[in-house]
Amino acid sequence: MSTLSIQTTELKRVMLLEVSGRIDSTTASELGDALNGVIEEGRNKIVLDLEKVDYMSSAGLREIVAALKRLNKGTGDLRLACPSDRVREVLELAGLDEIFKIFDTQLEAVASFT
């Protein structure tokens, strides 16, 4: 049974989504729904904290790429904070480390929007 937890925190200019658990074909839609919900609220600066994500499948990658594309149509961006080694490896293998701005800490990712 896959479990995914997403905590959303509204900061001054940035929405922070802290994700923990596994992002796979069963749970990827939950991540997509959370991202789309934030975007539909008009929030266009999003930091996705992946420190507590121990696995991300291609379904999860599709969701974050789709959100990035939606945000890039406007003036927004999706930035990634502290991906676990395993998730960073998946991002690199998929070539997504070239597309996403990836930061070592949540603070750096949030501050990058100023």
Per residue in 1-11, pLDDT (tens digit) is 568 999 999 99
CB 62 within 8 A of CB 35: no
- The stretch 52-73 carries a mean pLDDT of 96
Residue 54's CB: how many other CB atoms inside 10 A?
A: 12
Give me the residue spans of the domains in the chain. 4-111
Beta strands in the chain (DSSP E): 4-10, 15-23, 45-56, 77-81, 101-103
pLDDT at 81 over 90: yes
- Residues 32 and 112: their CA atoms lie apart, in Å, by 23
> What pLDDT is recorded for position 6?
97
Residue with the bigger pLDDT between 18 and 12: it is 18
Q: Which CATH class is domain 4-111?
A: alpha beta
Tell me the pTM: 0.95
Q: pLDDT over 90 for what percent of the chain?
A: 94
Rounded to a whole number of angstroms, the CA Rg of the chain reads 13
